[in-house]
A and B are shown apart, each in its own frame.
Chain A
Amino acid sequence: MKCKKCYDTAIIEMPSLCKSHFTEYFEEKVKRTIEEFGLLEKNDKVCVAASGGKDSVTLLYLLKKFGYEVEALAVNEGIHGYRDHTLSFLKKFCDDNKILLRIHSYEEETGKRLDKMVKPGSPACNTCGTLRRHVLNKYSEGYDKIATGHNMDDESQAVLMNLLKAQKKIFYRQGPKTNKVKGFTQKIKPFYFLREKEIMVYSFIKNINVSYTECPFARLSYRSKVRDALNEYESRHPGTKERILRKYLSIKHVSQPKAVSLCSRCGFPASGYECKACRIKESVVSQA
């Protein structure tokens, strides 16, 4: 396969581009997403939610390259044999690139590691996702934006998951950025229109060689089933993921999320009297 721009050998299909034209395309696509959706102002102080995986490390690399003031915020869930590996890669990357890194853990928030909170063999993603959002929001106060490495794969999966579970309340919360809501640091997703595969290719070119580690809870998740099905569909019908997101964005405006209340315990936004993170913390304490 040849590059559609210069006829050199392509390194990726869809779009068929050589190494140098793919690099140019990738960086332009991130810039265009930032501009088109107003994700960042030039003087914004940005906190990147960094796991140490290829998506978040590549995002740190690119935002810094584009000249934004970036810092990294990582969450250590407390999963034996998993997060330590990616965090040590992240620490080295941040040291090498002179990026401030802060790490907070579920243990300091709840008194327990995730793998002690959830029974072996049980799905943990719901609890983990709630606590992660809580910790990231809590420690990103003072920043203008929090940037995440969510990509086209993650986002098209989320649209499908919410549809399949008829999650009307959260269905309309997706998109390249969250609304400005009191108590929340606004979240942005500069990789919204890039496939996970494209991020992998770019990170390989830039020698961001994060080796693969899999969360032991991930295979039990509903998301992993949707991901596999969607990947199967994408390989038979290329362009499916992008069509899902473009169509989703075109209908998103028909319903706006209602205002949220504040948690009576921690003061952060909540859908009811107390936020879900505080309810998890209480259940962890009562189990002890």
Chain B
Amino acid sequence: MELFIERTGEKKTLSFNGTAENLLKEVGINSEEVIITRNNEIITLDQEVREGDSVRVLSVISGG
């Protein structure tokens, strides 16, 4: 899976299959602070992300 974390600008390729909630736990991000898109569609935390998906973790927190 291609993972992009907006707040840090980090892009990485991960071998991960599981829920979006578990993905956030794996990368140490509080779900309250982000929304997740899978292939450019917003998903909830219980939805699965898999090999081949493009996943973006977009920051909810205002930068100011």
B58 interface contact, C-beta 8 A: yes
Q: Considering the complex, which residues of chain B in the window 39-60 have a beta carbon less than 8 Å from any beta carbon of chain A?
A: 41-47, 58-60
Chain A interface size, under 10 / 10 to 19 / 20 to 34 / 35 or more: 20 to 34
**Distance from A19 Cβ to chain B, minimum over Cβ atoms (Å):** 8
Q: Which residues of B contact A201 (CB under 8 A)?
A: 35, 42
B28 interface contact, C-beta 8 A: no
Q: Tell me the bound Cα distance from A205 to B35 in angstroms.
A: 12
B15 interface contact, C-beta 8 A: no
**Distance from A206 Cβ to chain B, minimum over Cβ atoms (Å):** 12
- B35 CB contact (under 8 Å) in A9, A10, A197, A227: A197
A53 interface contact, C-beta 8 A: yes
The answer to whether A204 and B44 touch (CB under 8 A), given A197-B32, A231-B32, A235-B32, is no
Q: Which residues of B contact A154 (CB under 8 A)?
A: 62
Pairs across A and B, CB under 8 Å, 15 listed: A13-B45, A16-B44, A53-B62, A197-B32, A201-B35, A201-B42, A204-B58, A205-B42, A212-B7, A212-B58, A215-B63, A218-B64, A228-B30, A231-B32, A235-B31
Q: Pick the 10 closest A-B CB pairs, nearest first.
A: A214-B63, A231-B32, A11-B42, A200-B60, A1-B44, A212-B59, A235-B32, A215-B64, A197-B60, A212-B6
